[in-house]
Structure 1
Amino acid sequence: MLRFLRRLVTLLTTVMIAGVLMILVMLVIRYRTTRAPLPPVITLPSGEEASAFTQGPDWYAVVTEGNEILIFARDSGKLRQRISIEHD
């Protein structure tokens, strides 16, 4: 009976470890395939697609697929600054 209980505990431990690993893999896959979350009030210049978003106290910034950072005023939504990202 003790041998059966030991095997059962080992099996349960293995299944729990596999379950946790499976959940972690699923989370990583999900977050790699999702697009950058953008509030619906942001309108980007034509032809631009967002890849990242961040915000500060009175501004928010969008990193575009064209390697530019667009900084908008939070109160008016107008483009305040456009920064080009240089490649090496």
Structure 2
Amino acid sequence: MTSPDEFPPEPPRLRALRRLVTTLTIVLIAGVIVVVVLLVIRLSRISAPPEFPDHLAAPQGESVRAATMGTGWNAIVTRDDSGVERIHILRPDGTIRQTVEVTVE
């Protein structure tokens, strides 16, 4: 009779399967750690958006509804007292380059 401390030898295929599962577990843990580290690095680089220049203003009688910045131009969406909305494309110095009236259909 065998004692409880004695086990039969491990079959070679079972040993290979155990090693494969252990290796895949280690790879999975390492992959999760890499993804978390990359997310932390990427998210720590996010900076505040640039501030819209103070010297840009809406034409008289119009209020600013939205603003955006491009390369070498700025845009503001305005609404006048009668409810007409316009998009003003501005040069960096604040002068109007183009105006587009927005019509709602």
Report the TM range for the smaller structure's normalisation. Answer: 0.5 to 0.7
Structure 1 segments (4+ residues) deviating >6 Å: none
Percent identity, aligned pairs only, is: 31
Residue 87 (structure 2) aligned to one of 56, 63, 69:
69
| Structure 2: runs of 5 or more not aligned | 1-50
1:81 aligns with 2:98: yes
User: Quick check: which has more Rg, 1 or 2?
Assistant: 2
- Paired with 2:69 and 2:52, the residues of 1 have a C-alpha distance of 11
1:59 aligns with 2:78: no
Alignment TM-score, normalising by the size of structure 2: 0.44
- Paired with 1:57 and 1:48, the residues of 2 have a C-alpha distance of 25
Alignment TM-score, normalising by the size of structure 1: 0.52
Give the match for residue 63 of structure 2.
49
Task: Please identify which structure carries the higher helix content.
Answer: 1
Q: Secondary structure at the match of 1:49?
A: strand
| Structure 1: runs of 5 or more not aligned | 1-36
